[in-house]
Every structure is written in C-alpha cells, then in structure tokens.
Amino acid sequence: MSSTKKLLKMSLRRTMTVLMHLMMMGLVLVGASSEEDDDDDEVAMGTMFLESFGYMKKHDPNHLVTREELRPYVAKMQSFYNLPVTSELDAETVAAIKRPRCGVSDLSVTESELNGEPGTLYSNNDKYSLFVYAKRKKRYVLSGASWGRTTITFTFDNYTPDLPMNQVRREVLRGLKVWSDVTPLKFQELRYGMGEPDIHIQFAAQEHNDEYPFDGQGGTLAHAFYPGPGLGGDAHFDEDEQFTAGTSEGTNLFFVAAHELGHSLGLGHSDVSGSLMAPYYQGFQPNFRLHEDDMMAIQEIYGPNPNPPVPTQGYYPGQGPNPTSYPGAGGGWGGGGGGGGGGGGGGAGANYCSMSFGAVANLRGELYTFSGALMWRFRNSQLVQGYPVRTSAFFRGAPSNIDAIFEKPGGTTVMIKGSRYWEYSGVNLKPGFPRSLGRMGLSNGISAAFSWPQDRMIYIFGGEDYWGMYNYRQRVDNNEYPRNVLEDIPGLPLGIDAAFSSKTASYFVRGAQYWRYDHSSGSLSQGFPRNFHNDWLGCGKPQLLVESAASKSGGEGASNAQVLNFQPMTIALSVLAAMLSQLFILNFQRI
C-alpha cells in the first residue's frame, strides 16, 4: 500500500511539474500574443493614417501590410511633421499620429484626383532663387485651385450648440479676417434666399452626405474642400467636438475655422511648424499672428492687400500686447532731436558726403546709414533734421561699428557685429540678445545683409560667399548655401561694405560707389557703379533738412513748415539784406 502511495505521489509531482511548464509556456505565449496584437494594432493605425493623409496609396484589403513595408512612408510623414526621421513607428511618431488634426490630406497627388475631394493636392513646387534660377521647394503647398476673384460669398448652414450663435459667427468671421487682412479678398455673407454662396459653413457629426464621415470626438476635427463647384469651398466641422472660444479648454473654434477656410481659399497643408496651415491642431493662441509661411501662400494666389490694416491688436481683442513703434509712425521710431546723449547734426558726423558706411538699411521706405557710433536717416535723399544721432541712443544698447543690418517681416530689425547679432522690436532690444551667429548657422566675417520681400528671403554676405535664409526662420539654408558671389553675380566686386533693397532691385555699396542688381533680368544693371552719396544721400546738390516724424507730430519747436530750405541763393539774399539793413541804419544815424 505504501508503495502505491509513493507511486501516486511521484505521478502527481510529475503531473504538477508538467502543468507548471504548460502554464509558464501559456503565459509566454499569451505575452507574445499580446505583444504581437499591440504591434498589429500599431501597424494598422499607422497604415490607416498614412493612407488617409496622402503618404501612401490605399492597399489591397486582402494584403496584410507589414511594419517593414511602412518604413518609407513613415519616413515621409516624419519629415513633413519635422520629427526625427527614423522610418519607425516610434513613440514620438505614434503620438503625432494620435494628435487631433484637420481631415485634409498633407501631400500632393495628381490634378485628376482633385475634383472637389478633400485631401488631394497638386502643386508646382518650383521657385526661383534670387541670384541663380536654382529650384527651391516652397514650404507651403497650393491646391492648384482658386476662386479667380476677390469677392467670396459664404453662408452658415447651421450653428454648433456649444456656443451662443453670435459667438459662433464672431469666431468664424475672425477666421475669415485672418485671410482678408493680408490679401485683397472681401467676404460677403449671403442669407437664405440670396443665391448660392461659394462657401457653406456647416456643423455635422459622423456621416453627413459628403463621403467623408467624421470619426467622433478627437481625431479629425474638421475638413474643407478646395475652390470649385458643388462641395468646393465648403467647410465642415465635427459636431462631436466641444468647440470653445477664448480659452484653452476644448477645441478652439477660431483656430480651426481659420485653418479650414485656408483650404476653402485654395491652400494645402504646410510642413512649417507653427504655421496656421500645419495639419495638426495647435490649441488656443491668445496673441495669434498669421505665420509668414501662410502669408506667402495666400498672397501667391490672390496677391497682397493693397491697403493692409494697421496691426493694433490680435484676433482676440484686448488679449494681445500693443505693437511696438515702427519707422515713420512717430514715437519710439520718430528719431527727432538726438536726445538721450545722441547729439544731432554737428561734429565729426556732419560731413557724411565724404564718409564710407559700414552698414546701410532701407527701413520702411527710409534709408539709414551707419558709421562708427553714429547713424544717419534720409527721406527722399534728404537728411532728416536732428541727425546724425548715436546708434545706441536710437536702438537701445546697440553696438558701434555694426557690420550689417536688415529688417525682418513684422518690423524686427537685426544688427550683426563680429560673431553676434542683436534683434530689435521697434527700438527695444529683444530679451535674450545679443546671441551668437552660430545660432543662424553663420560665423563672423559678415559684411552686408538685406531682405528681399518678393522672394521672402534674407541674403547675408561675407568674403566670397553669401547665404540665403527664409525670413521666417532662424537659420540659413545649409542645403543650398553658401554660394559663391563671383559665380552668381558676375561683375560685382568683392569687399562690399553694405547692401540694401527696394521694391524692384538690390543695391551693393563699396566706398562711394554702388551697384544695382535688377531682379527682373537676374543681373547687374548697365551704367553702374554710380556715386552712392550723390544718388542716395543728396550730396552734390543743395541740401534740404527734412523735419522728423516726431517734430511734425507736435514735438517741441515744431512749425508748420515741413522743409527748411537752406539753399545757397536763399542764404546769399539773406546776407545781402542784412548788409543793406545795417548800411541803412548807419546812414540814418549820421543824418
């Protein structure tokens, strides 16, 4: 009996051991299966995203897409989203995929696929360079469609119950204003019975009769159709979202509306981080300003606003800082009488007609020249009264002997000296400056710089090289630059002292001479070099002192006269009159 018990115990132990092994194997298999399931879910999610937003074509549903097959498409998506290009569905990429976004496609396909379908773009991405007609990609994308006119009509089909009706209207109208502020576009609302509008604004959930159903809260927030008949121009908002105004809670209606209406006008998505037309939702921005990339895109379709509004506040009244002063506006940029230790009009800086300048800039239509610690200001080739002044008295904390100066969009002035650069908002130094030129991708040895508005680029010169930088970015484009000055601008000498631009040309100054670069012909103009001092500073002709904006706006000593004439003939007549008067007095005394 005891032997039987022993056999039973041994058998039981073996059975338990086998069961334990089986259980452990089961756990391993379950764990492996769970990991495989997670992997499959990730691949499925990635595939759906890449197909939905233009990165890859729809696959055969009978074919199971593998992680390896996704690699080139994931890399494309990572590049567009400005993520590290690993070609893997890593954590950062998956987080970007899950981010709430617009339902419109990101990348180009073909013109034949446009036809009122949201999410299909085509674009001519070629753009000429300033000095060489090398091809450069635009950062933004155009849909290839536009309304072909500047008056666009719209209507509200319905309203979200998330906000009062008047507030919904206000937020959407602000979204339209974003685009009309920088273009000649005018938006006209059509009420019921007034005809068929270009743009229908509609709030809907799930299926809503356009073959592009919404997906519930989160995910796709809205979509819009490019200009055209039928659904063309219409903007649809997912009613399952919680739309809000003036708060970081929920989904900000103004931001989503401004983005979608950009599509309604013909814009595609941009790969520039922070641009309004980036594909993903960026949240409530109380001090919103339209990004330079968005402005470039919309103006390429419709042109700039011939009468741009004065930038007094953001799109949320009362929530943004007042703009800083700018040239010609009086106040901080008025530059009147050389106060604050500036000194004005005399001394070593008075004879500017025989000086060489280390930097020259065209700031808001006025020419500023710099030499040593002083700066001069000219309007219509006439010296403004009260100049020169010390540069540091005008631009707070500015260095002496600057190497280059240029203006960025929005009125930011940039000075370069040695291995550092200073940025000014109006006349006030921005926090954190000066900074190292290395942050721009440059080193010292810079001699000149200017911005070219038509190309939206800043060009920086040093020695035999020059660099180009998008004026909304902080670094030069190292893929295309530096380039050689002598090769790209034949006839321009080395050793230029300064450069500046006007609406039609760029100018290079060396000593008393200057050269003109004609952008329409892509070459230096005939008949140059010419005398810089004579043509631009009014030297070699009777000098006029022009009152500054500060004086004309009611400063101390202001008069009704805008120009004080000190021409030689006037002075001679005054002296002669004084002599005759004195002679008359002497003769009268003798009598």
The per-residue pLDDT string of the chain (591 residues; one tens digit each, 9 = 90 and over) reads: 455 555 455 555 555 554 454 444 444 444 444 455 557 788 888 888 888 888 888 877 778 888 888 898 998 888 888 788 888 999 999 998 888 888 888 775 433 233 334 433 222 222 223 454 322 334 455 656 789 999 999 999 999 999 999 999 999 999 999 999 999 999 999 987 788 999 999 999 999 888 889 989 988 999 999 999 889 999 999 999 999 999 999 999 999 999 999 999 999 888 887 889 998 898 888 889 898 888 888 988 999 998 887 554 445 443 333 322 222 222 223 333 333 333 344 444 457 888 889 999 988 778 999 999 999 999 888 888 888 888 988 888 899 999 999 988 667 899 999 989 999 988 888 888 898 888 888 877 899 998 876 667 889 998 888 888 876 667 787 777 888 888 888 999 888 999 998 877 899 999 999 999 987 788 899 999 999 999 999 887 644 444 444 333 333 333 322 222 334 443 344 444 444 444 433 343 333
Binding residues for Zn(2+), by number, are 102, 208, 210, 223, 236, 259, 263, 269, 277
Contact present, 500 and 360 (Cβ < 8 Å) = yes
Residues within the annotated binding site? 102, 162, 198, 208, 210, 215-216, 223, 232, 234, 236, 238, 241, 259, 263, 269, 277, 403, 447, 449, 497
How many Å apart are CA 120 and CA 230, to the nearest integer? Answer: 16
Q: What SS3 string covers 481-542?
A: CCEEHHHHCCCCCCCCCEEEECCCEEEEEECCEEEEEECCCCEECCCCCEEHHHHHHCCCCC
pLDDT value of residue 471: 62
Give the per-residue pLDDT at 558.
Answer: 30
> What is the per-residue pLDDT for 108?
52
Q: What residues have CB less than 8 Å from 499, skipping those under 6 apart?
A: 360, 404, 448, 449, 450, 459, 461, 506, 507, 508, 509
- CA nearest neighbour of 222 among 173, 272, 257, 198: 257
Whether the link from the prior residue into 388 is cis, omega within 30° of 0, is yes
Question: Beta strands 151-156 and 186-189: pairing type?
Answer: parallel
How high is the pLDDT of residue 504?
Answer: 77
Q: Give residue 13's pLDDT.
A: 59
pLDDT of residue 80: 80
Ramachandran angles phi, psi of 347, nearest 5°:
70, -155
The catalytically annotated residue of 171, 260, 366, 407 is 260
Looking at residue 254, its pLDDT comes to 96
pLDDT value for 573: 40
Identify residue 237 by its one-letter amino acid code: F
Residues near 132 by Cβ (< 8 Å), separated by ≥ 6?
483, 488
Contact 335, 377 (CB under 8 A): yes
What pLDDT is recorded for position 472?
64
Question: Percent helix, strand and coil across the chain, each rounded to 5?
Answer: 30, 20, 50
Distances in Å between the alpha carbon of 386 and those of 41, 131, 344, 374, 541? 72, 38, 5, 12, 20
What is the rounded CA–CA span in Å between residue 523 and residue 188? Answer: 44
- Write down the pLDDT at residue 498: 93
Pairing mode of beta strands 435-436, 428-429: unpaired
In whole angstroms, what is the distance from residue 117 CA to residue 23 CA? 54
Q: Which structural domains are found in the chain, ordered by start?
A: 36-87 (no CATH), 151-302 (3.40.390.10), 359-537 (2.110.10.10)
Say which amino acid occupies 483: R
Cα dist. 330→2, 324, 334, 466 in Å?
112, 11, 4, 35
**Residues annotated in a binding site for Ca(2+):** 162, 198, 215-216, 232, 234, 238, 241, 403, 447, 449, 497
User: 132 near 517, Cβ under 8 Å?
Assistant: no
Q: How far is CA 302 from the centre of its chain?
A: 17
State pTM to two decimals. Answer: 0.48
Q: Which pLDDT score is estimated for 16? A: 55
What is the rounded distance in angstroms from the CA atom of residue 394 to the CA atom of residue 387? 11
The pLDDT assigned to 142 comes to 61
Question: Do the Cβ atoms of 336 and 545 come closer than 8 Å?
Answer: no
pLDDT of the residue at 469: 82
Is residue 260 among the annotated active site residues?
yes
Sign for the pseudo-dihedral over CA of 288, 291, 295, 297? negative
